[in-house]
Chain A
């Protein structure tokens, strides 16, 4: 492949997916105009952090950034993986932001990855580490990846704005390819599980969240159990916050999850800003989380709306076999993912709405991406 064969992209959108897909398909990319019209041009700190992470786990790659950070040249190498890695995710985005690309890259690495990630474990923009542990990892089962060797341990939690959380992640590499999935039966919800957390605030707040959430669920199903995970001292990070992650399990083993977080702004921030932001009360938060989960259940997909993107990518990476999945309403992120998949992997999904259940079924023939990094012994 020639140097000038690189794919030209513009803008900072879908930064993670573009990098992941470029790496998995060994396509060189040049991203231009990254926030070039913005008051603060160039890459944001979390994106730079992601590049550093990519740098840590791969070899024979080149990353070139211009002075203003508005132009990025990336030539992927081999994903090495490795044990005992460490990465500071910063406090601009949650750890969830980094976990999503990391799991995909880890599958196609030379060696299993074990990495310690520091930063914000629960925030409002990214899926929480609990969601990742309870739901995201289990999606891999449907693509023929056994879950041995995958784990996420939460050593300490950190809420925004200061973070201070630490998680350990283990991702195993796959032998050659994934297996095509026929995953259309969403089943019926048989139980609801969850984890609530509180960092540097009274553990009482968790009970109030759970009480409110359970009040909503009681109309539907009695099997509701929400754990409490209270962290105090150093395991509670550096900022106060509370929240809950809920997971609905269905009879066919599908997992639908939502998570919500409230974090109190630090004292300096309150002084700087003129008005004090209104915090959601634990009761409202519980009701909100429960309503969001029921909304996901009503959608009727095999995954929740947050995981659509990952689901589509996994389908597209499968060997040339037909994969069939059912999701609820397509999310903007999901649609963007489908477009990126078409651009990089040249896989087009056949998208069919199902008027009876208001769901969408997607079929595709995978691109057959193999783990070429793995040593053949």
Chain B
């Protein structure tokens, strides 16, 4: 278990800071763009901005990504659902305190 945990933390570190050799993503993306432009001459002069608007999801490679600190969840879950209510029950003072304390201890 300890090993998987350390690997997971390494993965998060990698996700944020990247490995020195993981510049592949950006290169591949550009190639893709070139291919698209070559295949259809009519659409050769589409500005980049419109292309980006097409694939809606904001990507890390987009150097002109919007500067926005708010985080939007794609869809909201239905919080009147009984199971969901149970899942965060103990995060409130009206929940089970002993269970909540346990959660904190496990974390350490």
Contacts and interface: CB of A to CB of B under 8 A. Distances in A.
A95 B62 CA distance: 25
A219 B77 CA distance: 15
B16 A351 contact: yes
Contact of B85 (A219, A349, A353): A219
Contacts of B85: 219-220
Interface string B13-32: 10111000000000000000
Contact-size category for B:
35 or more
Nearest to B62: A13
B38 interface: no
A335 B16 contact: yes
Contact of B93 (A184, A221, A350): A221
A16 B67 contact: yes
A72 B106 CA distance: 49
Contacts of B9: 350-353
Given A188-B91, A290-B79, A292-B76, A126 B69 contact: yes
Contacts of A353: 5, 8-9, 12
Given A219-B80, A291-B79, A350 B100 contact: no
A298 B69 contact: no
Given A100-B69, A220-B92, A342-B17, A11 B76 contact: no
A190 B92 CA distance: 6
Given A38-B49, A125-B68, A298-B87, A357 B76 contact: no
A189 B65 contact: no
Interface stretch (A170-178, A266-274, A326-334): A326-334
Interface string B77-108: 11110000101111111110100100110110
Contacts of B60: 332, 335-336
Interface in A12-43: 12-17, 33-35, 37-40
Interface in A291-317: 291-292, 294-295, 297-298, 300, 305-307, 309-310
Q: Is the interface of A mostly helix, strand, loop or mixed?
A: mixed
Contact of A35 (B64, B78, B93, B100): B64
A14 B47 contact: no
Nearest to A292: B76
A97 B69 CA distance: 8
The 9 closest A-B pairs by CB, nearest first: A11-B63, A37-B48, A38-B49, A305-B71, A356-B106, A13-B65, A331-B71, A39-B47, A291-B76
Interface of B: 5, 8-9, 12-13, 15-17, 47-50, 58, 60, 62-71, 73, 76-80, 85, 87-95, 97, 100, 103-104, 106-107
Given A330-B12, A339-B17, 17 more contacts: A12-B67, A37-B47, A38-B48, A38-B49, A39-B50, A125-B70, A126-B69, A189-B92, A219-B85, A221-B92, A298-B91, A326-B107, A332-B71, A333-B69, A354-B107, A357-B107, A361-B107
